[in-house]
């Protein structure tokens, strides 16, 4: 590959360079790909140069934001990786209540900057996840019920297109592109910066409540009924887990299989005890770690559980209804969770996210109540097969009770039919936008929308 023709201010890393081994790695330790070139892009000009190079050379191109993608779409074998991680600028405009974040920011970068102004925009639940991939796929987290998906607070993006041109997309400028990037993933170009609306979220009342497995059936029903009638201010995702073997969890619970909810309440803190009274009383929980905390503390609460390099296998579904029959299957499989990093989560995506029309953005499943994820994680390759089998069996048992498609940010590479099922009626329009902006499928290392021209 004629790398000499590629002039990247942030630097190029080749296989023979020191640092290549580290630079080629993504968050999922199961992904072991060897790109020919890694372009560490420092600005939009670098991105334009790299996209032009890939297109002209006919090189496979992968784009990396935070590198957290399960199937490893932030890298490739033999091609060029655009690594956006140097592009971490964040600028808060407190008067307009907006934040502009560079294409390589993590949620930790953004939360840190906005918290100083007592504001936040909805991100994911682990602070090291990239703003880029998470947002372009939709963005589910603690603020989803209150503020919507990450894309529902997105106001504007700067994009380098497949032909190397640079455009801004918003509801007024290139609205077709703006519609498509809100859920359509990295299919349409490289986003060099994102502008989000900020919300007045500073201190939240949050944390987990855990129940023993003999209360799991009741706990799941209690959770289902409570969240259905709860104000948008209250969110909580349900989980089957093994208690992590370290503080703040008491030693006698370490590695015990349990179920629980990680709550986040964004209403007035002086109302929190009243809101949590039925939750504290139900069971009561074996463990409650609830209290007021800065929003970034909640956002980074579980970072230590998921360092880079762990082996990860993902399955997911959207869920409309948590029937008693489905709950029985959750008990059977969830109770078998193999280790303290593997888990099943049910993220509520109703509330503000559910009030957006299913055709208003590319993200189609606005009528679903939950995004479920079955997550097999291990540090030991010897036990990973067992974790993968647990995920597959669990998912296969529950899939018949799902809405059909899945949150594409939480699956592996499951093929074209799964992508189409997840976009449902929005898929043909995504193909139209793809035909217009990337007819040669330069951006294809992703949950791909295939052009038809």
The stretch near ligand FAD (CB under 6 A) out of 57-65, 90-98, 267-275, 320-328 is: 57-65
Written as six digits, the tokens of 423 are 């976009």
Would you say 142 and 204 are in contact if contact means Cβ atoms under 8 Å apart?
yes
Between CA 36 and CA 19 the distance in angstroms is 14
Residue 29 makes contact with ligand FAD by CB under 6 A? no
65 near ligand FAD, judged by CB under 6 A: yes
Judged by CB under 6 A, does residue 102 bind ligand FAD?
Answer: no
Nearer to ligand FAD, 12 or 41 (CB): 41
For residues 261 and 157, give the distance between their C-alpha atoms in angstroms, rounded to a whole number: 34
Among 42, 108, 122, 132, binds ligand FAD (CB under 6 A): 132
Select from 50, 51, 101, 125 the one that contacts ligand FAD (CB under 6 A). 125
How many other β-carbons are positioned within 10 Å of the β-carbon of residue 294? 16
126 touches ligand FAD by CB under 6 A: yes
Residues 6+ apart with CB under 8 A from 378: 310, 311, 338, 339, 341, 342, 384, 387
Rounded least distance, CB 68 to ligand FAD, Å: 3
351: left (phi over 0), alpha (psi -120 to 50) or beta: left
**What is the radius of gyration, based on Cα positions, of the chain?**
21
Q: Which tokens in the block code for residue 158?
A: 């700067």
Restricted to residues 371-430, the positions that interact with ligand FAD (CB under 6 A) are 409-410
Question: Which residue of 35, 108, 122, 133 would you call a contact of ligand FAD, by CB under 6 A?
Answer: 133
Considering the rule CB under 6 A, would residue 84 count as an interface residue with ligand FAD? yes
74 part of the interface to ligand FAD, by CB under 6 A = yes
34-42, 182-190, 391-399, 416-424 -> range binding ligand FAD (CB under 6 A): 182-190
Please tell me the distance from the alpha carbon of residue 333 to that of residue 346, in angstroms, as a whole number: 14
d(Cα 187, Cα 445) in Å, to the nearest integer? 8
SS3 for 347? strand
354 sits near ligand FAD (criterion: CB under 6 A):
no
In the bound complex, what is the minimum distance in angstroms from residue 278's beta carbon to ligand FAD? Answer: 26
Q: Which residues bind ligand FAD (CB under 6 A)?
A: 26-27, 63-70, 73-74, 84, 103, 124-126, 129-130, 132-134, 136-137, 139-141, 185-186, 190-191, 306, 409-410, 446
């Amino acid at each position: 590959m004629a790398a000499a023709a590629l002039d990247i201010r942030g630097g190029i890393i080749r296989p023979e360079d020191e640092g290549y081994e580290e630079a080629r790695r993504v968050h999922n330790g199961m992904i072991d790909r060897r790109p020919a070139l890694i372009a560490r892009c420092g600005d939009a000009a670098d991105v334009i140069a790299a996209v032009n190079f890939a297109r002209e050379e006919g090189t496979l191109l992968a784009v990396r934001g935070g590198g957290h993608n399960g199937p490893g779409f932030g890298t490739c074998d033999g091609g060029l990786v655009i690594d956006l991680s140097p592009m971490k600028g964040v600028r808060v405009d407190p008067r307009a209540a907006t934040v502009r974040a560079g294409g390589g920011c993590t949620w930790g970068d953004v939360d840190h900057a906005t918290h100083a102004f007592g504001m936040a925009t909805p991100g994911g639940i682990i602070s090291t996840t990239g703003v880029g991939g998470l947002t372009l796929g939709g963005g589910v987290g603690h603020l989803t019920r209150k503020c919507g998906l990450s894309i529902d607070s997105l106001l504007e993006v700067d994009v380098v297109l497949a032909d190397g041109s640079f455009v801004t997309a918003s509801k007024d400028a290139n609205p077709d592109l703006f519609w498509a990037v809100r859920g359509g993933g990295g299919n349409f170009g490289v986003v060099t910066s994102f502008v989000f609306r900020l919300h007045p979220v500073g201190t939240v009342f949050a944390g987990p409540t855990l129940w023993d497995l003999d209360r799991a059936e009741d706990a799941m029903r209690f959770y289902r009924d409570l969240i259905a009638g709860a104000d948008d201010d209250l969110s909580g995702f349900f989980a089957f887990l093994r208690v992590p073997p370290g503080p703040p969890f008491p030693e006698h619970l370490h590695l015990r299989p349990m179920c629980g909810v990680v709550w986040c309440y964004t209403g007035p803190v002086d109302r929190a005890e009243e809101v949590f009274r039925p939750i504290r009383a139900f069971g009561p929980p074996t463990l409650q770690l609830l209290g007021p905390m800065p929003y970034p503390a909640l956002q980074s609460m579980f970072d230590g559980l998921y360092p880079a390099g762990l082996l990860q296998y993902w399955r997911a579904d959207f869920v409309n209804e948590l029937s008693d029959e489905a709950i029985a299957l959750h008990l059977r499989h969830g109770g078998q969770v193999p280790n303290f990093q593997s888990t099943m989560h049910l993220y509520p995506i109703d509330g503000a996210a559910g009030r957006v029309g299913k055709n208003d953005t590319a993200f189609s499943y606005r009528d679903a109540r939950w995004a479920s994820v079955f997550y097999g994680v291990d540090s030991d390759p010897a036990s990973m097969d067992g974790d993968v089998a647990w995920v597959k069996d669990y998912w296969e048992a529950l899939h018949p009770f799902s809405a059909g498609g899945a949150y594409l940010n939480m699956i592996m590479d499951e093929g074209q039919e799964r992508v189409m099922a997840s976009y449902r009626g929005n898929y043909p329009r995504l193909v139209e936008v793809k035909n217009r902006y990337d007819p040669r499928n330069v951006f294809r290392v992703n949950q791909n929308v295939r052009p038809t021209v």
